[in-house]
Amino acid sequence: MDEIAIYHTDVETALFDFFSGTSQALLDRYADVGREEARDRSLAELDYSSSLAVLSSVEAAVRLDYLRRAYDRWRDPLSKAMRKVYQRKGSRARLEEELIYLWGDVAALPKVLISGLLGAFQYRHWLAHGRYWTPKFGRQYDYVTVFIIAQNFICEMDAYNAAKR
């Protein structure tokens, strides 16, 4: 996730530099459109793509952890619960309904964190499926919000794993 944060900051800075400059490409491409409006649209797209990347990283971390628990046969309660899921579903366990649920229920991660993460995944579904409907998330999501939720979740995962080994 650190690489995503660095990339996001680099591209954001580049967009501000580009739209404040006088390059011929800028002048040609946005002659009929206000530069601030075009810049804001570009920044919004960056926000969407960075949010998607962060949430994809969280999914990868959860799924890798799940498979590690299934294969390595750890003895903590979360690993045992995940092995039961693995016996039924193998690598096709459902991310939100099974794996993240177990992190909240068995590992007892804070409910507010789990609900925030589940909401962020609803935001990801909206992003990934074309943004063609009007979302009803119950709160605003943006890159910063998603990053903070994801970072907090990964830290809690790491803390749980460190305590149970």
Binned at pLDDT 50, 70 and 90, residue 21 comes out as: confident
Contact predicate 39/104, CB 8 Å: no
How many domains does the chain divide into?
Answer: 1
Q: Is residue 157 one of the residues assigned to a domain? A: yes
72 lies in a domain?
Answer: yes
Does residue 10 form part of some domain? no
Confirm whether 36 is domain-assigned. Answer: no
Residue 55 resides in a domain: yes
5 domain-assigned: no
Question: For 96-148, what is each residue's pLDDT tens digit?
Answer: 999 999 999 999 999 999 999 999 999 999 999 999 888 888 899 999 999 99
- Summarize pLDDT for 49-65 with one digit per residue, the tens: 999 999 999 999 999 99
Structure tokens at 25: 């490409």
Range of the domain at 68: 49-164
Q: Label each residue of 72-97 as H, E or C.
A: HCCCCHHHHHHHHHHHHHHHHCCHHH
The model's pTM is: 0.91
